[in-house]
Amino acid sequence: MGRISGLVPSRFLTLLAHLVIVINIFWTRDDNIQASLPPHFTSEEYEKEDSKLITALSLTLGLFLVELAGFFSGVSMFNNTQNLFSIGAHCSAAVSLAFFVLEGWECYIYWYIFAFCSLLPASTEVIMFIAVFVLKKRSF
């Protein structure tokens, strides 16, 4: 067990890195919104794109709550498969979101990052939660 003992802190740190970058995007979303719009845009177009990005970021924060609840409850904290999957997804999210902020990518790209790096790990967390707490109570 000595080789894989670093998975739990690594998972926690990659979760926090992803969370910090998402919060940073909330602060600096103006550049990404302007990158998604044509050179001459109206305030209505800006507000529409802003609301789309805020929706995506809010969903991401909600999925963080789901994943952190499963992690801190112990449901998946010591599951090596879930830890490796979560580390890979959140590390990929942290790197790609850093490019998202620094390069000023268009906002629709965030939805792809959201789907692969936030939605998938949170859904596996929910599946594990159901498996542990619902199926455990059933006697086979």
Q: Domain ranges in the chain? A: 7-133
As a whole number of angstroms, the distance between CA 103 and CA 130 comes to 39
Given this model, what pLDDT does residue 1 score? Answer: 47
Cβ atoms < 10 Å from Cβ of 29: 18
Count CA atoms within 13 Å of residue 55 on its CB side: 9
As a whole number of angstroms, the distance between CA 34 and CA 41 comes to 9
Given this model, what pLDDT does residue 19 score? Answer: 96
Question: Which stretches in the chain have pLDDT values below 50?
Answer: 1
Given this model, what pLDDT does residue 3 score? Answer: 55
Given this model, what pLDDT does residue 44 score? Answer: 96
Given this model, what pLDDT does residue 133 score? Answer: 82
Q: Tokens standing for 71?
A: 């992690």
Given this model, what pLDDT does residue 126 score? Answer: 94
Cβ atoms < 10 Å from Cβ of 70: 24
Residue-wise pLDDT for 68-78, tens only, equals 999 999 888 88
Given this model, what pLDDT does residue 6 score? Answer: 85
